[in-house]
Amino acid sequence: MPTDETTLAAFDATFDAAVAAGGAIDYQLAAPRWQFICHIADTRPVVLHGSGNPAIGRFEPRQPEDTTDFGNRNAVYAASDGLWPMYFAILDRDRHPMTLINSAIRPIGPNGDLGEQRYFFSICDTALAASPWRRGTLYFLPRDTFEPQPAVELNGNRAVILQWASAEPVTPLARIAVGPEEFPLLDRIRGHDRESTFARARAEPEAFPWID
């Protein structure tokens, strides 16, 4: 991430101008788009949602299919992170049916301090072989009605999962187009065998991410 004041000021000015003008971000800066997105996620009271739909004017709560108590409820879901929602924005699930295994966490240290983000991105191997990428849209949502997922324990370690949920409809503040070439971890998206992975998940629910 950049630290020079000129770049950070340009990030802030670009976001503020878009919010004031109705939300569409016409990104023209030299810094990579993901750096702008992560800066806003880290410094503003917003959460982010990735989608293939470029024209969502209002997010309505929906019931997802999720194995966790927090994720298995009627809500609008978003992340307090820039990269995790980019992953969802660039996956073309309309043309390529797939299963997803993913997470973005920050480990909690012995003194309660938060470590750096850690990511896991995987889609079923049949979809990965087809390069199921698309251009998508990242939405910046006001955080007011959202609550964060409670801290969890993973293999004896505590961590914060960077997922938030709102039981109320949400109107986005701004949006930006993103493509697979702009996702810095594209070559780190793994492929998994659906049947064997889900068999392992059922047998060992706490063993996420069920890799060899």
Phi, psi dihedrals of residue 135, rounded to the nearest 5°: -85, 140
Q: What is the mean pLDDT of the chain?
A: 93
Specify the pLDDT at position 153.
86
Extents of the domains making up the chain: 5-203
The pLDDT-based confidence of 105 (bands split at 50, 70, 90) is very high
* 96 token code pair: 């390529």
3-state DSSP helix/strand/coil % of the chain, to nearest 5? 25, 30, 45
Its pTM stands at 0.92
Q: Of the candidates 15, 8, 210, which has an alpha carbon nearest to the alpha carbon of residue 122?
A: 210
Q: What percent of the chain has pLDDT over 90?
A: 80
Asked whether the predicted pLDDT for residue 65 surpasses 90, the reply is no
pLDDT of residue 203: 87
pLDDT at 173 over 70: yes
- Return the bridge partners of 190, or none: 122
* Of 143, 126, 122, the residue nearest 46 (C-alpha): 143
Q: 3-class DSSP state for residue 182?
A: helix
- Cα torsion angle, 212, 123, 69, 81, sign: positive
pLDDT digits (tens, 9 = 90+) for 182-194: 999 999 999 999 9
Q: How confident is the model at residue 209 (pLDDT cuts 50, 70, 90)?
A: confident
The first and second tokens of residue 102, run together, are: 């993913």
3-state secondary structure of 49: strand
pLDDT at 212: 67
Q: How confident is the model at residue 178 (pLDDT cuts 50, 70, 90)?
A: very high
- pLDDT tens per residue, range 133-152: 999 999 999 999 999 999 98
pLDDT confidence tier of residue 204, bands split at 50, 70 and 90 = confident
Helix, coil or strand: residue 192 = strand
- Per-residue pLDDT band for 19 (boundaries 50, 70, 90) equals very high
Sheet holding 100-107, edge to edge: 152-154, 157-161, 100-107, 118-124, 190-192
Alpha helices in 2-122 (DSSP H): 5-21, 33-43, 83-90
Q: Is the pLDDT of residue 154 over 80?
A: no
Q: What is the pLDDT of residue 71?
A: 67
pLDDT at residue 208, as a whole number: 81
State residue 156's pLDDT score: 81
CA–CA separation, 104 vs 84, rounded Å?
Answer: 6
Question: Pairing between strand 157-161 and 46-51?
Answer: unpaired
